[in-house]
Amino acid sequence: MPPVRRRTAAALLLVPLLTGCFASPNGTAYDADGGSGVGGGGRLRVAMAFPPAERFSPYGADATLLSRLGVTEGLTRLDGNGSASPALAESWTREGRRGWLFTLREAQFQDGTAVTPKAVAGALNRAAHADPLPAALSGVKLTAEPAGKRRVRLTTAAEYPALPLTLSSPSLAILSPKAYGSPKAYGKKAAPDPTGTATGPFVLGRSAGATRATLNRFDDYWGGLAHASGIDVRFIADGTARTNALRTGEADIAEAVPVSQAATLDKPTLREVPTARTTGLFLNTRSGPFADPEVRATVREATEPGVFARGVYEGHADPGQGVFGPALSWATGKQPAPAGRPAPARVKNTSITLGTYDNRPELPEAAQVAQQQLEKAGFTVKLEVREYSRLEADALAGKFDAVVAARNTMLDTGDPVSYLASDFTCHGSYNLAGLCDKAVDRAVAEADSRADTDERRSASLDAQTAILRTDAVVPLVHQRILHGVGTSVRGVELDPYERTLIGPGTHR
């Protein structure tokens, strides 16, 4: 299994499964309200939780922001079951162990140029040489080349059966050559510009830094004319203010309503959707008290996930059972029961430092509850709450004994194996627990060897059991996302993988 490089923090910081709606291959979007896009609608006013952090670069955290607003697309997208389905590519076939042939649909970029094999190959090669590398390509060496009138051939350095899933990642959006500047700029740090160069139903126009952005309808979108004529976006980091914008009629959609604000909204405007995000207590297995498996077992026995779901999340979450939550259809009913765990140790006044971040409002409270449960079990706990950017490096360096963190397991690639390799193997790039366990690495490698999607998922569940057997992570809750949607709005895309929100069928 190739080493997995460090993944972006987007999976931790962005929000919002299998209920709701998804865009169909022809571009029409549906949700539980039955709305569909037919063109001619007014503008949508949307309050987003996270502002652009990297000038809308598709290679970092802003990639998901662009896809959620209907600006960018890739060759594939994820369907409601988490499988790869057509987007800019109509179909694909595998060629040998390392090659894939993708057939493109007829489409235009927003600058009026055609989506050609040369343009697509150039976009993917640019991503493959970007610095830093997009999270979806961590551990994957990819080469793209035109292969005929409407075909692109993709080759990986090693066998990689999950490539169609990976190509659905927002960080691998296809932009026109104009976005990249000189073709000799491969490897440069200058990010491509998605303004007017993407393929989605909405064109990114003016933006006012981290406060506002204006999007207009792309009338030549391959999937048909979007119903809304445009989108006026306000970036409102404060959850209460974001909720108030919906309640006072200043916004039609408010994403990521905090649990504390749910009761302030009328029931018809609140949409609750299970997600692939799990909040867990990650224990430092490299040094300190939790290097001892028996002390980790004490934490597992002392932690009561139901308390977090009922208390901190006020019932808007499911008690933690594994790293893969019940919102993933292929994991439903298959939660692990690891055998062979060590017995808990007796702990008395053992000092530990517990860290978390306040970008997500529920995490500090969850950390306080964890602190109480651990102190009851005999630990002396020092709690540190920071802004995420000030916590990440120290957490990955093992400077905390434990960390409470939220992680969307499917955000980067849609492939469960990639997530497990990144977060729980010896060479993992986002290994908060510092776990290095031979049995876990073997189980993840076995899952990575499976090409069939169902077999790959089944083997990932076996690897999950091996991980939980180490007690390196204690799952606390599987989160649900709360969106505020005006009663006149239809067609909002409620996506488990946090990649879509506004589509061609979203309108009011």
Are the C-beta atoms of residues 223 and 23 closer than 8 Å to each other? yes
User: Rounded distance, CA 273 to CA 161, Å?
Assistant: 30
Q: 387, exposed or middle or buried, with CB in 10 Å at 0-12, 13-18, 19+?
A: exposed
The pLDDT, as a whole number, for residue 203 is 97
In the chain, what percentage of residues exceed pLDDT 90? 70
**pLDDT tier at 50, thresholds 50, 70, 90:** confident
The string of pLDDT tens digits covering residues 80-91 is 888 899 999 999
The pLDDT, as a whole number, for residue 18 is 34
The string of pLDDT tens digits covering residues 27-49 is 333 343 433 335 557 999 999 98
Angle at which helices 416-424 and 453-469 cross, to 10°: 30
Lowest-pLDDT range, 39-43, 45-49, 388-392, 492-496?
39-43
Are the C-beta atoms of residues 235 and 227 closer than 8 Å to each other? no
pLDDT at 406 over 90: yes
The count of residues in the chain is: 508
User: Rounded distance, CA 191 to CA 183, Å?
Assistant: 13
The pLDDT, as a whole number, for residue 292 is 98
Are the C-beta atoms of residues 471 and 296 closer than 8 Å to each other? yes
User: Rounded distance, CA 91 to CA 142, Å?
Assistant: 19
The string of pLDDT tens digits covering residues 338-359 is 888 999 999 999 999 999 998 7
The pLDDT, as a whole number, for residue 417 is 93
Q: Provide the token pair at 220.
A: 């030549």
Q: How many angstroms separate the Cα of 177 from the Cα of each of 51, 125, 180, 181, 348?
A: 26, 12, 6, 7, 63
DSSP H or E segment with residue 448: helix 438-448
The pLDDT, as a whole number, for residue 495 is 87
Q: Which residue has the higher pLDDT, 241 or 4?
A: 241
The model carries a pTM of: 0.83
The string of pLDDT tens digits covering residues 453-488 is 889 999 999 999 999 999 999 999 999 989 999 999
DSSP 231-269: EEEEE---HHHHHHHHHTTS-SEE-S--GGGGGGS-GGG
Q: What phi, psi does 319 have (nearest 5°)?
A: -55, 140
The pLDDT, as a whole number, for residue 135 is 83
User: Rounded distance, CA 404 to CA 283, Å?
Assistant: 9
Nearest to 180 by CA among 104, 233, 113, 88: 113
3-state secondary structure of 332: coil
User: What sign has the CA pseudo-torsion 352, 356, 362, 365?
Assistant: positive
Homologous superfamily of 275-480: Dipeptide-binding Protein; Domain 3 (3.10.105.10)
Q: Where exactly are the structural domains of the chain? A: 275-480
The string of pLDDT tens digits covering residues 261-285 is 999 999 999 999 888 899 999 999 9
